[in-house]
Amino acid sequence: MAAAVVMMLAAYTSANAQSSVQVYGLLDLGVDIASDAKPGGGTVSRVSSGGMNTSRFGFKGSEDLGGGLKAFFQLESGIIMDTGAQDGNLFKRQANIGLEGKYGKLMLGRSFTSVYETVIRFDPMGFAPFYSWATGGSATLASKYGMTTGFDNLIKYSGSNGDFKYGFSYGLGEQQGGSSADSAKWAGAVSYQSEGLGAMATLERINGNTVAVTGRRDETTAIHLGGYYQSGPFKLWVGGRGYKLESGKAGVADVKGNTYWTGVAYKVQPNATLTGAVYYLDVRNVAAGKDADPVMVVVRYRYHASKRTDLYATVGYTKAQHGQLVGLSRDDAGFGDSQRGLMVGMQHRF
């Protein structure tokens, strides 16, 4: 299927001289060692995909329609680099078309939400799978207390005015019968992003389907606030998320949790950056003595070997309260109330 897409895009490029098509990707692979990563609390060593960013490849292109208007498309697939496997659906990350002009960009299909595209710029670790809790907490927690990164059945608008950026995403529920609000989701974001100063605010709502017995549905709300300040070789970030899941089922408690983070980066030399970050998840609305309230501390050294290739080393430590389980990764479970980890890897972009 991927080969057919490549042939189609090549033919399209030849047929229309005003069109452009680009093949691109990001490959990120390393070796990580983590304590308490298996039953019994043993240490595990692995070759793992996505130390700083999720590996992917894709195709994107545009066509000039005249009058400052252009059509565009994007197809993007995730890769699990240690096995070569496909990460979910073929184009799970991006599958969209749209129009872009002086009033902004309108997109249809599958894409990241306006909230995701905003908050990532206010996370010191840049949503690194090893290790960041800006999208969601440890995989071991009963709830990740996080945001939704992408919508299916998407209608998305994004625009800007100088350093101000704004966007709104709506995912249609497309459920047979019932209310049009069932499984519908939306995300809005506004930010100011200059080279030295930034601030953002976002709001997201995710609906479940109506429960026949109660006539209500699950409704998840996530709110983000954050900012950054940069001066010379230093950059400082602060951010937070308020999360609430109101249950549509009778007798089921709501889920609540607040995530906070801060971090600082320092360019030790023009092509090397040292970054440190702290994440804290305040678990709410659980029984006494069951709140994990974990803290994660991360330090990463990143060396820019070239414009396209980076080498990095990351160390992390996390600790939960009241004997609750916790893990550094947002994708892999931990088997103790603390975990230590180290990852050394390489990232290449093309």
Tell me what the mean pLDDT of segment 265-275 comes to. Answer: 97
Average pLDDT of every residue of the chain: 94
Please determine, for residue 10, whether its predicted confidence score (pLDDT) is greater than 70. Answer: no
- Location of structure tokens 């990001």: 26
Q: Average of pLDDT values for 76-84? A: 97
The token pair at 239 is: 């951010």
For residue 6, what is the DSSP state? H
User: Rounded to whole angstroms, how far apart are CA atoms 21 and 8?
Assistant: 11
At 3, which helix (H) or strand (E)? helix 2-15
pLDDT at 17: 46
Query: Which helix (H) or strand (E) is 201 found in, with range?
Result: strand 197-207
pLDDT at 162 over 70: yes
Question: Which H helix or E strand runs over 116?
Answer: helix 114-119
Q: Measure the CA–CA gap between 144 and 283, rounded to whole angstroms.
A: 10
Q: What is the arithmetic mean of pLDDT over 47-68?
A: 97
pLDDT at 18: 81
Average pLDDT over residues 112-135: 96
Please say whether the beta carbons of 52 and 312 come within 8 A.
yes
Q: Whole-structure pTM over 0.85, yes or no?
A: yes
Tell me the two tokens of residue 114.
């306006």
Q: Residue 158 CA to chain centroid, in angstroms? A: 18
Instruction: Provide the pairing of β-strand 164-171 with 185-193.
Output: antiparallel
Euclidean distance between CA atoms 270 and 85, whole angstroms: 36
- pLDDT-derived band of residue 147, with 50, 70 and 90 as boundaries? very high
pLDDT score recorded for residue 323? 96
Mean pLDDT of 133-161: 96
Residue-wise pLDDT for 18-43, tens only, equals: 899 999 999 999 999 999 999 988 99
Give the side-chain half-sphere CA count within 13 A for 32.
27
pLDDT digits (tens, 9 = 90+) for 173-193: 999 888 999 999 999 999 999
The Cα 317–Cα 185 span in angstroms is 34
Residues 82-109: what's their mean pLDDT?
97
Q: How many CB atoms lie within 10 A of CB 66?
A: 7
Percent of the chain with pLDDT over 90: 92
DSSP string, 125-147: TTT-SSS--SS---TTSS-----
Which domains occur in the chain, in start order? 23-349 (2.40.160.10)
